[in-house]
Structure 1
């Protein structure tokens, strides 16, 4: 059974050219810093599309290896945090299957324990 992290932003105004460039810049930077070449990272499947007022949407499939789940979750949620901060006025929904991921003004999107070094340590190292 697969678990995925879903993220989408909506607002009445479409992305400006500057915002589109910011989304592309953030996505490229975050994908290049992703720790695992063989796992799925931030995946934006469209900018503005099927849902009314949707301006950004994406999904990241979580890895099966238990030592990789928290690093992938942390990296992806950090990426979505950067995106949210670059798109003022958007309404965001971030969830892992049926679990909504809370927003914190200081930390962004976080789940309990996702930055715990002991929990994130993969057997045998990266």
Structure 2
């Protein structure tokens, strides 16, 4: 059974050119620092998302190797935190299958009890 992290941002105003460029920069820089080349990393859907007003959406299947899960989750949540900060005014939903991941203004996204990839 696989577990995935899902992320989406919605708002009535589409991405500006500057925001789209910021998203591309974030995706590129985060991909280059992803810890495992043979695992799925940040994956945004083409054209935003499937819901009206979704300006960004994506998902990532988590690794099956236990010692890779926490570093991958930490990296992905840091990536999504960076994307959220680049898209002001958007409403975000980030969840690990059915578990909502909370947002903290200072720390960004992290699973409860987890900071910097450490539980």
Normalised to the residue count of structure 2, the TM-score between the two structures is 0.94
Larger Rg: 1
1:30 paired to 2:13 = no
1:49 is displaced (CA, Å) by 4.0
- The answer for the alignment partner of 2:86 in structure 1 is 86
- The answer for the alignment partner of 2:14 in structure 1 is 14
Q: Secondary structure at the match of 1:45?
A: coil
Aligned 8 A contact 2:49 2:58 in 1: no
State how far apart, in whole Å, the 1-side matches of 2:109 and 2:62 are: 16
1:45 is displaced (CA, Å) by 1.2
CA RMSD of aligned residues (A): 1.2
- The answer for the alignment partner of 1:113 in structure 2 is 114
Q: How many residues in Structure 1 have an aligned counterpart in Structure 2?
A: 118
Gaps spanning 5+ residues in structure 2: where? none
Q: Secondary structure at the match of 2:12?
A: coil
The alpha-carbon distance between structure 1 residues 99 and 49, as it changes in their structure 2 partners (threshold 3 A), is closer
Q: Secondary structure at the match of 1:24?
A: helix
